[in-house]
Structure 1
Amino acid sequence: MSKHDPIHPDPANGRRRAGSLVERAARAYGFEAAGRVPPLRDAEPLAAAPAAPLPNERALAPLFRGRAGTVQRARLAEAGFILPGQAPSALSEEFRVIKRPLLTAAADGGALRTILVASARPDEGKTFCAINLALSLAAETEIEVVLVDGDVAKPDIVATLGLEDGPGLLDALADPGCAVETCLIRTDIPHLSVLPAGAARHEATELLASARTRALFETLRAQDPRRILVIDSPPALAASPAGVLAALAGQAVVVVRADRTGEADLRHALELLSACPRPQLLLNGVEFRPGARRFAGYYGIEA
């Protein structure tokens, strides 16, 4: 956010020129005589000074250097995801509850603005939850979301959203000349961008464990103070990068599939993700009885 321009040096003759509304007001009301403001010579007329621009969202956002993409909303609807702008549903309300403590913690800044979504085993719904969480966060008016496909062995974010794949996380890590901002896909869903996994590499875990990965995430956050990174992690017990990514995240959402995730697997997964200081559990796949439905009944929505 910019303030009114202070006194600027005139490049033509080295003299100062007036650019501050405060200084003009001081001259107009005679404050200079009291010695509060140093006298200005050869000041430009008031009408010649350009008006200071009002702060706006575009001024706050970094210069976008990636590409644009259109999310296939029909595909999301068919797969049961939250749809942007839809009427309240049981699922959208659940994720509104889930995101609120995450946002509260993220307000403290730093790595807390990076949220890892993981699970113990495959097919427990962590990608489903990661996408829905990102969509729910993007509905916030003062948040920018970057959904990162960190499941580099089996990436699924881009295909699920119906976007065109391209350079991504691993490419930016492997090539120092590849700026991560150029790999982002800005979707047509307001406040939502996607960072694909990138080209598969045998040394993916080593790349993710490098200091460059931490610097890359810090760069993404620093480029826009409103950004929250949501990382779709590989299953903790199926792929080694999960533990590596946990060390880079300030918060973790560990998806537990009802009637499927075993206690022993969950305990082992939490141990592997223990580098993250704030792990939380998300129970997925729960079926409520008609008399015990949450949220949907209040809005008159059938489950």
Structure 2
Amino acid sequence: MNPPVSFGGALPAIDRLRVAEVSADHLLENRIFSVRTGDIRARPFKMLRSQLRKIMQARGAKLIGVTSASPGVGKSFVAANLAIAMARVAEASVYLIDIDLRRPALGPRFGVTDHPGLQDYLTGVTPNLADVAVRVNDEQLALITAQDRGLASAELLASPQADALFAAARALPEESVAIFDMPPIFADDDAVIIAERLDGVLVVVEDGLTTRKQVQETIRLLQPTPCLGTVLNRYKVGILDDEYGYNGGYGYGAYYSS
């Protein structure tokens, strides 16, 4: 009889991870604008970073999720840019984890597609967390990608392996931050299972598409995990007013209060 597999272990320090060399051109082509501090398209994420850091410090929060009511409104776009923006000023490190097991997006966005992913860890194929994380270039940013394996995601997210993942994230040094790119709330119950283990969640809404009722229901389903704010994506008029139609306009609880 085989001995039981020991899952988990600590999330290693950034400088102990394998480095994934990703060109700035690839990141920019995949709309990760925070890689260039001077890019005007990075400005909204620096503003969001500053506001979120204040909220997290006030609440003692370390594990943050990024979600949306429905697919396709830009949650992975926001999570990726926010993670790099925060890593540029982090006193310790930022860990970006793609936990949208049904529709993972961060691997291709960062050009990391040939490395073991979160599903490999959750199923025991790669039982050590240290083996599924990479460092992005010389950034203070660790990335755990995911691949669509067609597996039962809810069962994996409720497993002891998943518990070990969140425990490892919570055991990171005090100044570190873990950002989870979550599934959309209304896609299935995966996001609700994840939210129970987090300190707070940002909800991405799309200008002209996400409704007030969807936002209210999303916040209700997240409870008791607090919604730390809403991020308005693809805003049609604003400081960037360009062909992409987003300016990263953001608000913290006020957009749908009336």
* TM-score after normalising by structure 1: 0.68
- 1:140 match: 89
List gaps (5 residues or longer) in structure 2.
1-11, 241-258
1:84 aligns with 35
Change (3 A) 1:108 1:221: farther
User: What residue number does 1:75 align with?
Assistant: 26
1:203 to 147, 152, 159: 152
Matched residue type, 2:29: E
Residue 186 to residue 261, structure 1, CA distance change in 2 (3 Å): same
Q: Per-residue deviation at 1:106?
A: 3.2
Residue by residue, what CA displacement relative to the aligned partner does 1:243-281 show, whole Å, maximum 9, x if unpaired? 111111112110010001122222222222224224411
**Structure with more relative contact order (C-alpha pairs < 8 Å, separation 6 or more):** 2
8 Å Cα contact 1:168/1:199 also seen in 2: no
Could you tell me how far apart the structure 2 residues matched to 1:69 and 1:96 are?
24
* 2:229 alignment counterpart: 280
Residues matched between the structures, number: 231
Structure 1: which amino acid aligns with 2:231? Answer: L
In structure 2, the partner of 1:217 is 166
Instruction: Identify if the C-alpha distance between structure 1 residues 214 and 280 changes in structure 2 by more than 3 Å, giving closer, same or farther.
Output: farther
Tell me the CA shift for residue 161 of structure 1: 1.1
Extract unaligned runs of 5+ from structure 1: 1-60, 295-303
Distance 2:231 2:102 in 1: 23
> In the TM superposition, what is the alpha-carbon distance from 1:99 to its structure 2 partner?
1.7
Contact 1:233–1:242 (CA under 8 A) maintained in structure 2: yes
- 1:62 maps to which residue? 13
User: CA shift at 1:143, angstroms?
Assistant: 3.3
Gap change, CA 1:108 and 1:213, over 3 Å in 2: farther
Percent of residue pairs bearing the same amino acid type? 27
C-alpha contact 2:112 2:145 (8 A) present in aligned 1:
no
Q: Corresponding residue for 1:100?
A: 50
Deviations 1:79-113 (A, max 9, x none): 43314243151x32211221223223433686x21
Q: How does 1:126-205 map to 2 (within 5 A)?
A: 126-175=75-124, 178-198=127-147, 200-205=149-154
CA distance in 2, matches of 1:228, 1:150: 15
Map of 1:250 onto structure 2: 199
C-alpha deviations, 1:17-53, integer Å up to 9, x for none? xxxxxxxxxxxxxxxxxxxxxxxxxxxxxxxxxxxxx
CA contact 2:63–2:169 (8 Å) conserved in 1 = no
Q: Kindly provide the CA deviation profile for residues 37-70 of structure 1, in whole angstroms up to 9, marking residues without a partner as x.
A: xxxxxxxxxxxxxxxxxxxxxxxx7386643211
Task: Give the TM-score normalised by the residue count of structure 2.
Answer: 0.79
Q: CA deviation at 1:169?
A: 2.1
The answer (yes or no) to whether the contact 1:62–1:224 under 8 Å persists in 2 is no
User: What amino acid is aligned across from residue 254 of structure 1 in structure 2?
Assistant: V
TM-align CA RMSD: 2.7
1:280 aligned counterpart, secondary structure? strand
Provide the rounded CA distance (Å) in 1 between the counterparts of 2:53 and 2:209: 29
